[in-house]
């Protein structure tokens, strides 16, 4: 292929990427619609009044393990026999699933999947789907306002169950997606007794990023509030998912932005195969990933994903946060440890593009020594890990800059459990055959040791060059490193 053809090809790809970005902005604008607000004063005055439950518009359907798809039996506040008719289990946990904004006025496909996963994990529980579809089908700003009324409905239902049947609110776990997360927050703030837990699944951002805590999900709304943020891309208040921490533990998979399988490259693939008709699915892809991560935690209980507390996603990308000391790491999803700190814990992790989402995190630290005087920027490398169980080869990573006599730390991850690390290889990639560096000689660094910390096991290992000293030369064969025989190096590894 000629240089001209390559340039034209690259230009076409960049144009498509720009076009997709514009489409994302257009779709998001259409989703939010016009800024049409509603006056809730009259409705709220009715909601606050007395023990009359006839004004509650939200519906509460107890789905069963045998029928996770349809709402066949409704618990009706004020109608005591409806509870018995729906075979409500008074001694078990109750999960209340609250959906988000909808275009079609129908449940989305994730609802029965979440219901089924909850029953698989807790077979004797009650799974109640909160139906507020009529209110959720308006322009976004209207539906956002309606979350206050939906939250009131849910709170009054819970209070009725507690008062009428002495049902323990300690057994109640609210799961809210998008706008539903904020409805869950309002509900939690209005119950007579705090519910046990609220899980926010990518709570909606617009109209809530700067809202008062009483109007959105907040740590005060339940005994424990955990949140998964999966689509926070964009400026604050414009991103589909809320950016600020709103729980006791806020987890940002893959930095909380685009999720694997939902990025520009995937958009280009969808466009090439199906045209622009399914672009809305790509917008929802990262947003809904929060739900599927939680479902994953229900179905794969023996191998939960781990998240790590960190001040920023930039620090996490450098591998600086893979510590489990003093509650610095936690399980993602259902089996999360209920840590209630004074400040919200922001946590990060990497995931696969599909279920099971769990990956294995490693911090790698390398000291580059040598006589090179040039600082090289945006350098591409590959590292290969070999363990007792499996291997993961040619894992790409990029260092923003590399210069002699400096230590660099970075994060890598594998999609398979390779067991205990035994050996690794490191390769410095040449950009292209037309690289100027290949004309003036290949830059070279000396690497004596590589330090690796495994996040999931917390083990720290020092690797030494299989030769006495390894030369890392751009575009050349990858030097091999094995576990150092000197045990004192592993004890004093400079972590």
Q: Please name each of the domains of the chain with its CATH number.
A: 59-349 (3.40.50.1820), 360-433+441-488 (2.60.60.20)
Whole-angstrom distance, CA of residue 479 vs CA of residue 468: 11
Predicted confidence at residue 52, as pLDDT, reads 80
Catalytically annotated residue among 99, 173, 248, 287: 287
Catalytically annotated residue among 131, 202, 250, 296: 202
**Distant-in-sequence, close-in-space partners of 289: CB < 8 Å, separation ≥ 6:** 202, 230, 231, 253, 259, 262
Residue 286 host element (H or E): helix 279-299
CB atoms inside a 10 Å sphere around CB 412: 20
Whole-angstrom distance, CA of residue 399 vs CA of residue 396: 10
> Annotated binding residue at 124?
no
- pLDDT average per 10 residues of sequence, the chain (495 residues): 44 44 48 50 42 90 97 96 97 98 93 99 98 97 97 98 98 99 98 98 97 97 98 88 98 95 72 60 86 98 96 96 96 96 93 97 97 92 97 97 96 97 96 54 89 98 90 92 76 52
Predicted confidence at residue 11, as pLDDT, reads 42
Kindly tell me the burial class for residue 353, based on how many C-beta atoms sit within 10 Å of its own C-beta (0-12, 13-18, 19 or more): middle
Predicted confidence at residue 237, as pLDDT, reads 79
Q: At what angle do helices 279-299 and 3-32 cross, to 10 degrees?
A: 80
Q: How many helices (H) and strands (E) in the chain?
A: 11, 21
Hey, CA dihedral for 139, 141, 142, 147, is it positive or negative? positive
What is the side-by-side strand order in the sheet with 74-75? 74-75, 59-63, 126-131, 94-98, 172-177, 197-201, 224-228, 249-253, 345-349, 306-309, 329-331
347's tokens: 């946590």
Predicted confidence at residue 276, as pLDDT, reads 56
Whole-angstrom distance, CA of residue 205 vs CA of residue 235: 10
Instruction: Answer for the pair 449, 462: CB distance below 8 angstroms, yes or no.
Output: yes
Predicted confidence at residue 186, as pLDDT, reads 98
Quote the strand ranges of 415-448, DSSP E.
421-428, 444-447
Apex 184 CA angle, 46 and 152, nearest 5: 10
Apex 285 CA angle, 282 and 289, nearest 5: 170
> Annotated binding residue at 221?
yes
Predicted confidence at residue 307, as pLDDT, reads 99
Q: Establish whether 178 is a catalytic residue.
A: yes
Whole-angstrom distance, CA of residue 445 vs CA of residue 321: 27
Predicted confidence at residue 94, as pLDDT, reads 99
Q: Global pTM?
A: 0.89
**Distant-in-sequence, close-in-space partners of 60: CB < 8 Å, separation ≥ 6:** 74, 75, 76, 77, 96, 128, 129, 130, 131, 157
117's tokens: 């996963």
Q: Establish whether 287 is a catalytic residue.
A: yes
Predicted confidence at residue 273, as pLDDT, reads 66
DSSP state of 479: P
135's tokens: 């209110």
Predicted confidence at residue 263, as pLDDT, reads 74
DSSP state of 204: B
Apex 261 CA angle, 257 and 266, nearest 5: 105
Catalytically annotated residue among 178, 189, 290, 297: 178
């Amino acid at each position: 292929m000629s240089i001209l053809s390559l340039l034209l090809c690259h230009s076409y790809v960049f144009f498509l990427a720009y076009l997709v970005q514009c489409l994302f902005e257009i779709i998001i604008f259409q989703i939010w619609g016009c800024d049409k607000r509603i006056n809730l004063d009259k409705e709220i005055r009715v909601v606050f009044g007395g023990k009359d439950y006839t004004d509650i518009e939200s519906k509460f359907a107890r789905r069963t393990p045998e029928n996770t798809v349809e709402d066949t039996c409704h618990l009706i506040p004020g109608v005591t026999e409806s509870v018995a008719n729906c075979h409500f289990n008074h001694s078990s946990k109750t999960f209340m699933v609250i959906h988000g904004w909808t275009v079609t006025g129908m449940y989305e496909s994730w609802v029965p999947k979440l219901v089924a996963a909850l029953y698989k994990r807790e077979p004797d529980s009650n799974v109640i789907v909160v139906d507020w579809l009529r209110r959720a089908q308006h322009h976004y700003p209207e539906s956002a306002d309606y979350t206050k009324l939906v939250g009131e409905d849910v709170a009054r239902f819970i209070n009725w169950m507690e008062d009428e049947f002495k049902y323990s609110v300690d057994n109640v776990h609210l799961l809210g997606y998008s706008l539903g997360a904020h409805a869950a927050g309002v509900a939690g703030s209005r119950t007579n007794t705090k519910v046990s837990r609220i899980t926010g699944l990518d709570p909606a951002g617009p109209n809530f990023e700067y809202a008062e805590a009483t109007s959105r999900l907040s740590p005060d709304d339940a005994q424990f509030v955990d949140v998964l943020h999966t689509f926070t891309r964009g400026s604050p208040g414009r991103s589909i998912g809320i950016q600020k921490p709103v729980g006791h533990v806020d987890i940002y998979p893959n930095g909380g932005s685009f999720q694997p399988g939902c990025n520009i490259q995937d958009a280009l693939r969808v466009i090439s195969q199906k045209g622009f008709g399914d672009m809305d699915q790509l917008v929802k892809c990262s947003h809904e990933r929060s739900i599927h991560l939680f479902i994953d935690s229900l179905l794969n209980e023996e191998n939960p994903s781990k998240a790590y507390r960190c001040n920023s996603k930039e620090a996490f990308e450098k591998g600086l946060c893979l510590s489990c000391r003093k509650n610095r790491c936690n399980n993602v999803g259902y089996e999360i440890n209920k840590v209630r700190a004074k400040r919200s814990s922001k946590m990060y992790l990497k995931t696969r593009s599909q279920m099971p989402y769990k990956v294995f995190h490693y911090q790698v630290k390398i000291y580059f020594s040598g006589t090179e005087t040039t600082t090289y920027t945006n350098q591409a490398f590959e590292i290969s890990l070999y363990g007792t169980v499996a291997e993961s080869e040619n894992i790409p990573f990029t260092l923003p800059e590399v210069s002699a006599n400096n230590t660099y730390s970075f994060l890598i991850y594998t999609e398979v459990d390779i067991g205990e690390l035994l050996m690794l290889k490191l390769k410095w990639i040449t950009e292209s055959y037309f690289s100027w560096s290949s004309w003036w000689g290949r830059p070279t660094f000396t690497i004596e040791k590589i330090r690796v910390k495994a996040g999931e096991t917390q083990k720290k290992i020092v690797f030494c060059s299989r030769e006495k000293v390894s030369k890392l030369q751009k575009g050349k064969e990858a030097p091999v490193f094995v576990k150092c025989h000197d045990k004192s190096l592993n004890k004093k590894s400079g972590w």
